Amino acid sequence: MGKIFYAVSGEGRGHAARARAAIEDLRDEHEIVLYAPGHAFELLAPVYENSAVEVRRLPGLRFHYTASHRLAYLKTAASNLGYVRDLPRLIRRLMRDIEAAQPDLAITDFEPSLPRAARRCGLPFLSLDHQHFLVTYDLSSLPFDLRCYAGMMALAVRACHQGQAHSIVSSFYFPPLRPRVRAVTQIGVLMRPEIRRARPETGRHLVAYLRRFQEPGVYRALAGCGEEVRIYGLGARPAAGRLRFHEVDVHRFTEDLARCRALVTTAGNQLVGEALYLGKPVLAMPESGNREQAVNAHFLRRSGTGLVSSMDAVTAGHVRALLDGADRLTARIDRRRLCGNPAALEIIRRHLAPAARPARPPIPAWGPT
């Protein structure tokens, strides 16, 4: 049995879902301390209450958005000045934790403080996230504006951390790696236990996972498709024609997804990958101004396993095209490659092996706190 320190970013449900999927595969064999800020802590702490997985709260970066749901760069930068100022103190706190617990390995899902502490303590760490596609994937097929975005965001990814023993990139798409990248493995999406246990069937209903700021045209498009649509993400409310609105319940949502005809959603990596793994084609609607989702949508379209429409232009015709082409789209899904759990687990086990762990240098003095 090994001891693992695992840190996850607090922004977005995808980070928390990916961390939970990995931890569920590791918790029976290893002792795990999970560090999570913000929304990720709120999602994960109740899951592991009264379990052997210890969840500790971390400060984290926060992101702010404009009224049109675009990233507000100046407000985001201003609100994170305190985090940047206090980062050295946070790193020293984590170094003390490492010295006290003597973990065998650290894993980071786009969280910047634990890898810095690990490097200073000589503790090997792995990167396990989606965002490292920006620095490891060949993105030459992207349109020019998205290539420019990817180049700019690659700087932020490199600034998050460096020096990992291995980068594991979790994604539902698999373009070639860039030349000369080393110690990088592409894997599929890390599937939650509920998804892996599900038994897919082909029903008639659609599932839609929406955000509370949806464009009004999305509802008209779904209402005009002619089939029942089970909508999650907006809370429970009275039915409107064939639109049924449900609270997000993990088990009910997974059951509906496993038995649906297709999924309509935004273009987040995690949910799109889960749907494809269950053999469900996807109509992806990138959120306005969300360039990472636009990249995901680009590769979904290229894979031939889904359709794409901007959220403000989607129509009932797009939804009917998804239904009419569902068999053709489903036939192109390679489910075997989409589950990244076994490959991620094999890499983590390899780096936990005693031969993979070098002797650690002395831990430096903390200095004032």
| pLDDT tens, residue by residue, 127-159 | 999 999 999 999 999 999 999 999 999 998 999
DSSP state of 354: G
Q: Are residues 294 and 270 in the same domain?
A: yes
What's the confidence (pLDDT) of residue 77?
65
Would residue 328 count as lying in a domain?
yes
Q: Are residues 255 and 137 in the same domain?
A: no
Q: Are residues 258 and 176 in the same domain?
A: no
pLDDT bucket at 250, cuts 50 / 70 / 90: confident
Total number of domains in the chain:
2
Residues 6+ apart with CB under 8 A from 288: 68, 69, 70, 310, 311, 312
What's the confidence (pLDDT) of residue 315?
95
Query: CA 174 → CA 110, 112, 115, 299, distances in Å?
Result: 20, 25, 26, 9
Would residue 127 count as lying in a domain?
yes
Secondary structure of residue 37 in the 3-state scheme? coil
Query: Averaged over 250-275, what is the pLDDT?
Result: 96
**By residue range, what is the domain housing residue 93?**
3-190+340-356
What's the confidence (pLDDT) of residue 268?
93
Structural tokens at position 256: 């509906």
Would residue 224 count as lying in a domain?
yes
Q: Are residues 173 and 215 in the same domain?
A: no
Distance CA 345, CA 196 (A): 15
What's the mean pLDDT when you consider all of the chain? 90
Handedness of CA 137, 59, 164, 18 (dihedral sign): negative
pLDDT bucket at 67, cuts 50 / 70 / 90: low
Q: Are residues 297 and 185 in the same domain?
A: no
Q: Are residues 67 and 169 in the same domain?
A: yes
Q: For the chain, how many residues are written?
A: 369
Would residue 46 count as lying in a domain?
yes
pLDDT bucket at 3, cuts 50 / 70 / 90: very high
Would residue 20 count as lying in a domain?
yes
Structural tokens at position 178: 């860039």
Note whether 160 and 130 are within 8 A (CB): no
Query: Averaged over 306-331, what is the pLDDT?
Result: 96
pTM: 0.89
Would residue 242 count as lying in a domain?
yes
What's the confidence (pLDDT) of residue 355?
53
Q: Are residues 186 and 331 in the same domain?
A: no
Structure-model confidence comparison of residues 65 and 121, the more confident one: 121
% of the chain residues with pLDDT over 70: 88
Note whether 269 and 189 are within 8 A (CB): yes
Note whether 223 and 241 are within 8 A (CB): yes
Q: Which alpha helices (H) appear in the chain, and where do they start and end?
A: 13-26, 38-44, 73-79, 81-101, 113-121, 133-136, 144-160, 193-197, 216-223, 250-258, 269-277, 291-303, 316-324, 326-331, 335-338, 341-352
Secondary structure of residue 55 in the 3-state scheme? strand
Q: Are residues 114 and 12 in the same domain?
A: yes
Q: Are residues 241 and 146 in the same domain?
A: no
The CATH number of whichever domain residue 55 belongs to comes to: 3.40.50.2000
pLDDT bucket at 13, cuts 50 / 70 / 90: confident
What's the confidence (pLDDT) of residue 215?
73
Residue 125, beta-bridge partner list = 106
Distance CA 114, CA 105 (A): 11
What's the confidence (pLDDT) of residue 367?
42
Closest CA to 112 of 60, 147, 67: 60
Residue 58 pLDDT > 90? yes
Give the number of other Cβ atoms within 10 Å of residue 125's Cβ: 27
Closest CA to 65 of 345, 287, 267: 287
Note whether 117 and 91 are within 8 A (CB): yes
